[in-house]
């Protein structure tokens, strides 16, 4: 039996077992297992031998950078972000990947990522989204609260170091204006349990054509509800969560999946989240 898992601390309730078990089933790998492994940062080094018993594993907070010294090789995606969320155990060698970027790009592939893009927030996953958007030709505006201006400036500098011709500017959320092809929320505004929150005004929503919200709980944020009520396209974070897991299976054993089956898993995840909140 091939064993896989997710390491993090604290883990609490996670959608990962549900997602990965469904992906294993689609691949006919019913003898593969997936478990949650809670590891305190102080214990990570002592647990590496335990992790070597796994064929592969995912990594979440706070280990995405802490795991790097224990890798034998980093894929380009992991080097780009200095962050690892997936390890493949290749005959005892740990190869580190970042599949968050794949999850975002596959979730947003039908959205106008190469148009005028307004990104709200740029910490953590927002930094990755900012870089990917700029690298894919988007004219990027990063909107932040005053205390995050310095973070936004660092992300902007990082983007320009990777692509000097990138179009990127910074503004305050309170001063956002104009029309955009796509608005991306990379902040926790609207996340459960404070689901009434919305990162931008109704007028701003009306000025954007399509939306991507990294939040997956609730499955339909206030931002998404308002956008859809205006007849606009809005994609939630459950899609990104599932597609980054799909990439892990492609890495681990060359898994191949039908997009319709993946859409079904996204719906399963959303149903589970809704059940949790009811």
Token pair for residue 26?
């689609």
Radius of gyration of the chain (CA): 19
Taking the alpha carbons at both ends of the chain, their separation in whole angstroms is 36
- Alpha-carbon torsion, ordered 92, 58, 65, 113, to 10 deg: 130
> Has 64 been annotated as catalytic?
yes
Q: Which residue has the tokens 């991507």?
A: 212
Closest CA to 210 of 103, 144, 113, 122: 113
Burial profile 110-146: b = 16 or more Cβ within 10 angstroms, e = fewer: ebebeebbbbbbbebbbbbbbbbbbbeebbbbbbbee
Instruction: State the Cα–Cα distance between residues 170 and 206, nearest whole angstrom.
Output: 21
Catalytic residue chosen out of the listed positions 22, 64, 226, 247: 64
Q: Which residues are catalytic?
A: 64
């Amino acid at each position: 039996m091939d064993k896989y898992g997710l390491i993090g601390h604290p883990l609490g309730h996670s959608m990962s077992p549900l997602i990965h078990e469904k992906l294993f089933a689609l691949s006919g790998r019913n003898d593969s297992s997936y478990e949650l492994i809670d590891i305190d940062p102080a214990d990570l080094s002592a647990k590496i031998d335990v992790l070597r018993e796994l064929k592969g594993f995912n990594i979440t907070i706070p280990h995405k950078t802490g795991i790097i010294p224990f890798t034998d090789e980093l894929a380009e995606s992991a080097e780009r972000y200095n962050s690892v969320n997936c390890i493949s155990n290749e005959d005892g060698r740990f190869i580190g990947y970042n599949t968050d970027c794949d999850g975002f790009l596959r979730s947003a592939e039908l959205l106008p990522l190469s148009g005028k893009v307004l990104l709200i927030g740029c910490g953590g996953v927002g930094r990755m989204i900012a870089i990917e958007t700029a690298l894919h030709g988007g004219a990027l505006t990063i909107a932040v609260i005053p205390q995050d201006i310095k973070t936004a400036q660092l992300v902007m500098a990082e983007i320009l170091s990777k692509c000097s011709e990138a179009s990127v500017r910074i503004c305050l959320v309170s001063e956002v204006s104009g029309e955009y092809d796509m608005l991306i929320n990379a902040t926790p505004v609207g996340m459960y349990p404070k689901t009434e929150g919305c990162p931008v005004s109704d007028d701003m929503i009306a000025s954007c054509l399509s939306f991507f919200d990294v939040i997956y709980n609730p499955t339909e944020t206030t931002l998404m509800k308002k956008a859809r009520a205006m007849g606009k396209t809005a994609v939630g974070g459950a899609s990104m969560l599932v597609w980054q897991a799909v990439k892990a299976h492609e890495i681990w054993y060359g898994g191949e999946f039908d997009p319709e089956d993946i859409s079904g898993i996204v719906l399963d995840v959303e149903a589970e989240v809704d059940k949790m909140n009811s």
